[in-house]
Structure 1
Amino acid sequence: MSTIRWTEADVVRTVRWHSGSAAPPPRRVVVADDRMSAGTAHRLARQGTALLWRGDYHNARQLLRAMGRRLGSPPSLGQGDDPARAFHLHREARGRRARVLGMLLVLLEDGSGEGGPGEGRPGEDGLREGRPGQGGHVLNLRRAPDVRQACAEAYGTPRGPVAVALTELLGVLGAHQWRVRGVQVPALGARVHPHYGVFSPVRGEYVDLVARAPLPPGPVPAATAFDLGTGTGVLAAVLAGRGFGRVVATDVSPRALACARDNVHRLGLAGRVTVTGPALYPGGRARLVVCNPPWLPARPVSELERGVYDADSAMLRGFLDGLTGHLEPGGEGWLVLSDLAERLGVRTRADLLSLIEAAGLRVLGRIDTRPRHPRAADGADPLHAARAAEITSLWRLAPA
C-alpha cells in the first residue's frame, strides 16, 4: 500500500495514497493554505514537493488555474514539423504539466470526524458542502462540495483517509456530472450515461457510421452481432436498434462492463443485449462483429486514456486476428477507426492494410466521415492541423 507522510502541528501523519494515473506517491509533502502564492506553489511543485491543501476549496481551484498559467501550453503541431516527433513532444509536455499540477493534494476523510467547516450549506457552485460524520469520502475544506457520491462511484467504499491530487478529484466530480446528465445520442434518440473511467461517446460521427452502414445480407432479427470493446454500450444499443435479435457486448475493463450493463438496463435492452467479459471476443460466431478500438497506438498513462491509446495496436491486432474465427459464413467485421494516427505519423495506411492482409481479411468497402466535435475547429488546440484534416472510417471486412 502506497502512503504519503507529512508533519502538521508537530505531529507526523501518514495516510494512504491513490492515483488513477498510477503516479508514485510524492516523497515530500508540506501543508499549504490560502496564504500560499501561486509562484511559491509552482516552484515547490516543479521541485517535486507536494502541497496538501488545508485552505478554502475554491481558492485551491484558483491556485491550480494560476499554476497552470505559469506552465504554459503544450507545443503546437505546425506545418513542416515532423508529425511523430511533434506528437511525442506534445505528450511529454502534457505529462510534465500533469505531474506538476498533480502536486496539489487534498485529503478525503472517512466522514467519522467531528466538527470542521462543512455544515451542509449550499456552496458557491450549487453543490452541497461536505459534512463530517455522515460517512463516505468527505472533503473537509471550507466551501467544499459534497463529494461522497462521486467518490463512491470512482473509488468504492472508503477504507480510511486517502490523499489524492486535486486534479484527479475534479475529474471524478466531472465524471459524476456526465453520469447524472448523460450524453444525448441522436442515433438512439436517447441518452447514454458514462461512468468514471469509461470513455464518453461525445464524438457522434463514429456512432452514426455504425447506424447507417449497409448490413450484411440475411434476416437480421434472427442474427447475432458482437460489439467488442463496448465501453458505455452505445454501439451495442445501436446494433439492437438496427434489428439484431441478439447482441453480445464485451470489454476488458470492469468499469466499462458495469457501465454498459447500466446503460443496457436504462434503455430497456436487457433482453436482447448481453454484456460479458473481461474479454475481447465472446464465444461463438456472429453475422456482424463491430470494433471501435482506441485510435492511437501509444501507451496509455491513465485508466481514461485507455479509450484513446492502444499500446502497440494490441486491441486492433486482436480484433483482426480473431475475426475470421468468429464470423458466420457471409458475415462481416466492421472496424471503426480514425486516420488521426496516420496524420500524426505514428501509424501509416500501409501498416493498417498490412495488418488486415496478415489476418487473412479483405476490404469489402469503406465509409468515411469528417469529425464534427468542437476540437476539430479549435485553432488553439496544439494538434489542430491534424484534427481538422482527420477522417473517421468504417472498414467493412470479410475473410479473404
Structure 2
Amino acid sequence: MPDPTNDSPGTTAVDLARVVWTDEDTPRSDVWRSESGWPAPTSVVTGDESMTAETALRLASERTAIMWTGDFHNAKQLLAAMGKRLGPSARPRNDDITAAFARSRNEALRRSTFLGMLLVPISADGTIPLRRSPNVRLATAHAWGTSAEASVVSLRELLGIIGAEEWRARGVDVPALGAKIHPHYGVFSPVRGEYLDLVATAPLPAGADTAFDIGTGTGVLSALLAHRGIRSIVATDQDPRALACATENLDRLGFAGAVTVERTDLFPDGRADIVVCNPPWIPATPKVATDYAVYDEGGRMLAGFLSGLADHLAPGGEGWLVISDIAERLGLRSRGELLDAIDDAGLVVIARMDTRPTHSRATDTRDPLHAARAAEVTSLWRLGAAS
C-alpha cells in the first residue's frame, strides 16, 4: 500500500518526511521513502565494511538506523548476514495453526523492522552514490515517480523495487492467454496460475457478453474474459498503480477496445452478465507492504463484493468469486461464515470449481503453516441472485 506521504508517480516530492544524519561532519537531510509507512528514523549512524552483522542488529534493536557508505554489494551481504542471525523466535510447543499464523505475522513484522534499518541514499538524479551500484533510475521512477530531491530508502525495500522492475520487464507467463502479463511495482503479480485456470475454464452464462472485473490489479482476469470472447468489460480498482498496470497490459494484449479501466471502489454503474472478483484471501491486518495483496482487513472487500453483487448482475448473470480456503485452514473464517454471507446477500451458489495449489510453499515442510498450505483449495464460486 503506498505511503500516503509519498508523492504520486510523475510528481515532485513536497513536504515529505526527511532523514537527518551527519556524513563526514556534514549535516544531511534527505526525503524519506517507505512504502510500508515506517516513520523516518530519528537516530542514524553511518556504516561501511567495518561494521559486523552483530553490530548492525544491535543498533537496529536500539532503533538506530545505519546509513551505508560502502560498497553496494557488500551492503547486500551485510543484510543477508543480518537476516541469518536474526532467525525465528522460539516456537512454542503444542502450537495450533491459528497461533502459528499469528506468530508468523509477528515474525514478519519483526524482520521488517530490524532489516529495514539498513539504509541507502538515492541521489537527486536517481542514482545510488555507492560503489558497484546498479542502475535503478527506471525502477525508482516506476515506483515513486520523478523527483528533484535526493532521498533515503531501506536497502531491503530498494531490493524489492529492483526485483519488481525485473518482473515488470520479464513478465509472468499466463498459459491460458498464450501471453505474458507484466506486473507493476505495488500490484499483485498473477504468479499462482491455478486461479487463472479456473477463470479460463468456468462455463460462461448463456449469451454472456458483458463483464465487470472488480479489483482488476494487473488486468489479467479482464484479459482472460476478453480472450474468451466477452466483448464489453469494465475493470475497476482504487489504486492508481493498478489502473496504470491494467491499462498497459490490456493495450499490449490488444484488448483495449473490449475493456474500460475505471477508478472506483468495487462496482461500476450498471449490471453485467459476469462479475468476477479475486479479493485478498486472508481476513487479517496487513503488517508489511507486501501484505496488502493477500490480506483483507476485516474481510472488507469480500463483504463489499458479496453485499453489492446481486444489484449488479444482469438477469441470468453470474458472480464469480475466486478465493482460497486458506483462511478457513488458518482458523480465521469458517465455511459457515462464508455461506452465511452469501445467503445474507441474496445470493445462491450455482456451482463451485476447485483446484489445488501448485506453488512451492505448499510442499515446504519447513514452513510453520505447512499443514494449512498443503491442504489448501482454491475455488471459483459461481453465484447467482436468489429468485
With normalisation by structure 2, the TM-score equals 0.93
Distance 2:51 2:34 in 1: 24
> Per-residue deviation at 1:35?
1.0
Instruction: Give the aligned residue type for 2:382.
Output: R
Unmatched 5+ stretches in structure 2: 1-15
Counterpart-to-counterpart distance in 1, 2:90 and 2:348:
39
1:208 corresponds in structure 2 to 197
Q: The residue matched to 2:292 in structure 1 has which SS?
A: helix
Which of the residues 18, 24, 42 maps onto 1:27? Answer: 42
Shift of 1:83: 2.2
Give the superposition deviation at 1:286.
0.2
Q: Which residue of 1 aligns with 2:230?
A: 244
Aligned to 2:70: 55
**Offset, 1:8:** 2.0
Query: Is contact 1:206-1:392 (8 Å) kept?
Result: yes
Instruction: After superposition, give the CA deviation of every residue in 1:268-308 in whole Å (9 maximum; x if it has no partner).
Output: 11111111113211111100100000000012234542210
In the TM superposition, structure 1's runs of 4+ consecutive aligned residues that sit over 4 Å from their partners are 74-78
Indicate the SS of the match to 2:218.
coil
Counterpart of 1:116 in structure 2 is none
CA distance in 1, matches of 2:172, 2:273: 29
Cα deviation code 1:112-148 (max 9, x no counterpart) = xxxxxxxxxxxxxxxxxxxxxxxxx110110000110
CA distance in 2, matches of 1:86, 1:301: 16
Alignment partner of 1:377 is 2:363: yes
SS of residue matched to 1:287:
strand
Q: Determine if contact 2:109/2:288 at 8 Å carries over to the other structure.
A: no
Matched, 1:177 2:166: yes
Structure 2: which amino acid aligns with 1:316?
Answer: L
Contact 2:112 2:288 in 1 (8 A): no
- The corresponding residue for 1:104 is 118
2:322 is equivalent to residue 333 of structure 1:
no
Q: Distance in 2 between matches of 1:142 and 1:74?
A: 35
Between the aligned partners of 1:138 and 1:71, the Cα distance in structure 2 is 30
Alignment partners' CA distance in 2, 1:40 and 1:233: 45
Q: Which residues of 2 match residues 1-400 of structure 1 at below 5 A?
A: 1-73=16-88, 81-111=95-125, 137-218=126-207, 220=208, 223-400=209-386
The one-character-per-residue Cα deviations of 1:212-258 (angstroms, maximum 9, x if unpaired) are: 1111122x4xx101111111000000001111111111111111000
Aligned residue in 2 for 1:119: none
CA-based RMSD of the aligned residues comes to 1.4
1:130 maps to what in 2? none
Aligned equivalents of 1:352 and 1:77: distance in 2? 31
Contact 2:323 2:380 in 1 (8 A): yes
Runs of 5+ unmatched residues, structure 1 = 112-136
Cα deviation per residue 1:170-212 (whole Å; 9 max; x = unaligned)? 0000000000000000010000000000010000000000111
Residue 82 of structure 1 deviates from its aligned partner by 2.4
In structure 2, distance between residues paired with 1:184 and 1:319: 28
1:210 and 1:360 map into 2 onto residues whose CA distance is: 23
How far has the Cα of 1:12 moved from its partner? 2.0
Shift of 1:384: 1.6
> Post-superposition shift, 1:89?
1.2
Tell me the residue number matched to 2:13: none
Q: 1:247 to 1:74 in 2, by over 3 A?
A: farther
Deviation at 1:358, TM superposition (A): 1.1
Secondary structure of the 1:357 match is: helix
For residues 339 and 185 of structure 1, the distance between their equivalents in structure 2, rounded to whole angstroms, comes to 23
C-alpha change, 1:74 and 1:285, in structure 2 (3 Å) is: farther
Question: Deviations along 1:32-64, whole A, 9 cap, x unmatched?
Answer: 011111111111111111000000000000000
Amino acid at match of 2:203: P
* Structure 1 range deviating more: 152-161 or 51-60: 152-161
CA shift for structure 1 position 17: 0.8
Count the aligned residue pairs.
371
**Structure 1 residues 159 and 300, CA gap change in structure 2 (3 angstroms):** farther
Which secondary structure does the structure 1 equivalent of 2:205 belong to?
Answer: coil
The C-alpha deviation readout for 1:96-117, integer Å capped at 9, x for no partner, is: 1110000000011113xxxxxx
2:31 is matched by which residue type in structure 1?
A: R
Q: What is the letter of the counterpart of residue 350 of structure 1?
A: G
Identify which range, 320-329 or 370-379, moves more after superposition.
370-379
Separation of aligned partners in 2, 1:369 and 1:149? 38
Other-structure match for 2:4: none
| Aligned residue in 2 for 1:118 | none
How many angstroms apart in 2 are the aligned matches of 1:227 and 1:175?
24
- Residue 77 of structure 1: how far off its partner (Å): 9.8
